[in-house]
Structure 1
């Protein structure tokens, strides 16, 4: 385990030459501002192929800002973001969405007036909808409730059903990297367990790489291979999920009352 984040810039070519596996997603020295206010203060973070990596921290720590910065909105003012060996720091958001990266954003942000089916069509449109029927069956197997609601407007569903739809919509693009921003926020414990179970299944069965931003530290770290702790825009700690679960500082700050 290391404290204070990762301070060494890893050159991808050198990493391969040294026999090390270069990360699928690499964030180096990223600083993001809202006007003159700095939200991310030089963030370093890696996600390797096949991993579940979680980022935990208090509300307002900058977790969602990092997720959105990776996707290009807001844009990083300093630093570098690479995905699959390509620098995406200045790539437009709509181009990033076509690079096998999918995001389920905080607050779900489904299209409330569209049916479940139409929302899923929107997700599939990123890759042309080539395998729509196959992918529709797949996400409905993961979330059987959606099959029952296919022709219901998204805005009339419960919060848990809308969260299932947001994740399913992201999956319709067949992502190599799935980014989930606060998927458990405001949901009943039973729904939270179901969603985390699906994330685990996607990773173990399909080998999907997942970057998970969560306030529910207990469930997130229990699921994750590795984790990072963010405090006011800075990575303060990193380690395996188990190491962070057992860390007294993490327990005191993030796990009290979090075991649902």
Structure 2
């Protein structure tokens, strides 16, 4: 590719409307400010990751995008539409799906029933097709369709949480700490699946992750959050090589 073509591509990228855009977002818990004016974009077809220490406000940002808690200031737009004040259940119908931190599957329901809950958002329109797809992505779940969610291992529950989100055929997938508390081998599998969803299906992914090394290797672009502020952004590669990021999030921490 020539330098000119590269510049043109970059200009085209800048001109394109982001699929998700966060501008000046402030979120509070009571009187405590958790997000202090966050700006962030996710373009169609990208994997964008947000890294930061525990308690930096990463999960708060993801929950704010989904309308709970609400942004007290600023705007959140999705596919050109202002969703800042929209109720969570309405946001879920805009083909945004979330796999929340701590998995939050329905423990008393079977794996199959959990997947039905995910598909209910778009009226079970392609249920059999989508069930087959997630069972191909997660063969472990296929073997456990009639098992209760609560009896699965941590890794299997995480797979179920992602699979449930995929059942609604999202255009944008929000993943909150998918690697939390999992064995390195399972973490590798889950990151491989995220990459596959992006490369084969063109799915746009916004990933909140404490495992900075894996997340930045996977992401096209990343943002760093420190106590409610975005302090740095760049391509995954740039952030991986950044001395400050290495010192704060990568030293001795990757597998």
Query: Shorter chain as normaliser: what TM range?
Result: over 0.9
How big is the shift at 1:81? 0.2
Q: Work out whether 1:123 is the aligned partner of 2:118.
A: yes
Q: Work out whether 1:32 is the aligned partner of 2:32.
A: no
Q: Which residue of 2 aligns with 1:191?
A: 186
Matching residue within 39, 52, 57 for 1:57:
52
Q: Which residue of 2 aligns with 1:226?
A: 221
Q: Work out whether 1:144 is the aligned partner of 2:139.
A: yes
Alignment TM-score, normalising by the size of structure 2 = 0.95
Q: Secondary structure at the match of 1:201?
A: helix
Runs ≥4 residues deviating over 4 A: none
Q: Aligned pair in 2 of structure 1 residues 145, 19: CA closer, same or farther (>3 Å)?
A: closer
Q: Secondary structure at the match of 2:49?
A: strand
How big is the shift at 1:19? 7.8
Q: Aligned pair in 2 of structure 1 residues 201, 27: CA closer, same or farther (>3 Å)?
A: same
Q: Which residue of 2 aligns with 1:172?
A: 167
Q: Which residue of 2 aligns with 1:8?
A: none
The equivalences for 1:229-248 within 5 A come to: 229-248=224-243
Question: Which deviations, in whole Å up to 9, do the C-alpha atoms of 1:212-235 show, x marking residues without a partner?
Answer: 000000000000000000000000
Separation in 1 of the partners of 2:71 and 2:36? 11
Unaligned runs of 5+ in 1: 1-14
Q: Work out whether 1:43 is the aligned partner of 2:38.
A: yes
Q: Which residue of 2 aligns with 1:6?
A: none
Q: Which residue of 1 aligns with 2:149?
A: 154
How big is the shift at 1:145? 0.2
Separation in 2 of the partners of 1:227 and 1:214? 11
Q: Which residue of 2 aligns with 1:11?
A: none
Q: Secondary structure at the match of 1:218?
A: helix
How big is the shift at 1:258? 2.3
Separation in 2 of the partners of 1:129 and 1:190? 33
Separation in 1 of the partners of 2:62 and 2:114? 22
The CA RMSD measured in Å over matched residues stands at 1.2
Alignment TM-score, normalising by the size of structure 1 = 0.93
Q: Which residue of 2 aligns with 1:92?
A: 87
Q: Secondary structure at the match of 2:15?
A: coil
